[in-house]
Every structure is written in C-alpha cells, then in structure tokens.
Structure 1
Amino acid sequence: MTKKPVIEIEYCPKCNWMLRAAYMAQEVLSSFTDEIHAVQLVPSEIAGRYTIRVNDQEIFDRKREGRFPEIKELKQLIRDRVAPEKSLGHSDKSS
C-alpha cells in the first residue's frame, strides 16, 4: 500500500499568518479527505515565510510568487500531485 502524502504549510507566526494557514489547511482537508494523510501547520523561524509542500516538495512559495496562493490554485497544485484524475468541481480548471 502506498503511503498517502503529507501537505505542509510553513507560515510566519510573527506576521500573524496562522489563521490563513489554518484556513488553507481546512480547505485542503475538505477537498482531499481520502487522498492525503495529513496537513501539517509549521510555524517558521524565518520571517515572512509562507511555503506549501507536498511530501517535502515545494509547490508554492509566497516570496518567489510575490503573493499568497488562491484556494482554487492551491487545490489544483495539490490535486495535480496527489490525485491527477480527481475532479475539483467548481474549483477545477476551466476547459
């Protein structure tokens, strides 16, 4: 049996981004209940960090992108790695 992926959201607690990280974790858990093992919230020791990883592979970095991910975008990034065949319904890419 293949081990289910772990999603990690590393956020800057000094920037007060914990609520944003928790909200994104809730959305990910709601959409990928059967496909993932866990979502981990990791307070960063690096100021300004907001990075999202799937099994230690970075999929989004706030500093590199110059912004936070939209929920729809985040779900698509995760889906493409953990369950490419899964439909995200209204959050899916338009054809």
Structure 2
Amino acid sequence: MSSPRVEITYCTQCRWLLRAAWMAQELLTTFTTELGEVALVPGTGGIFEVRLEQELIFSRKEQGRFPESKELKQLVRDRIAPERDLGHSDRPKN
C-alpha cells in the first residue's frame, strides 16, 4: 500500500506560494513516515485548497479563511492516523 498524497493548490496571482510551502513543510515535519508526498499545485482565481488522496479537506472559498496549521494537521491526522497524538497541536487554546 502506498503512502497518502496531499495536494495544496494555491493561487499564483495572489502570491500564496510561500503560505502553501509552509503548510507543506508543517505536514511533512509532523507526518514524517505517514505521508508519501505533498504536492504544490499552482492555480489562479484566489484558490487555496488542500486535498488528501483527492478528497477536499479544506477550501479557502468554502471556509472564508486560510487553514490554521494546527487545524490542517488535525484534519490530515484524523484521516491517516486517527490514533496518533499531535502533542501541543491537540491541546486546546487557553
């Protein structure tokens, strides 16, 4: 069985490459052995979407905002390693 693939589609017109790359780095650092690939896909029109194995798990258009790093890690974890503890990323804010 191959490891899961995450795709981050970002708007080149909006210059969101650095944001997408940072999110990719966060995911790859957190899920060092669980993820097989994180791909950055250029798009236009204000798009910022995250897909896991082609399933849309976050859309800036639908949510009206960008994902928090903690939130994105939890969304990925819940699908690929639900038993995994994310440490400080699982703790509620005070």
Range into which the TM-score falls when normalised by the shorter chain: over 0.9
Question: Which amino acid letter does the alignment assign opposite residue 60 of structure 2?
Answer: R
Structure 1 stretches of 4+ with a deviation exceeding 4 A read none
TM-score by length of 2: 0.94
Q: Secondary structure at 1:15's aligned position in 2?
A: coil
Segments of structure 1 that go 5 or more residues without pairing to the other structure are none
Count of residue pairs brought into register by the alignment: 92
Aligned position for 1:78: 76
TM-score by length of 1: 0.93
Q: Is it true that 1:21 corresponds to 2:24 in the alignment?
A: no
Segments of structure 2 that go 5 or more residues without pairing to the other structure are none
Per the TM alignment, residue 93 of structure 1 is displaced from its structure 2 partner at its CA by 4.8
RMSD: 0.9
Per the TM alignment, residue 3 of structure 1 is displaced from its structure 2 partner at its CA by 1.3
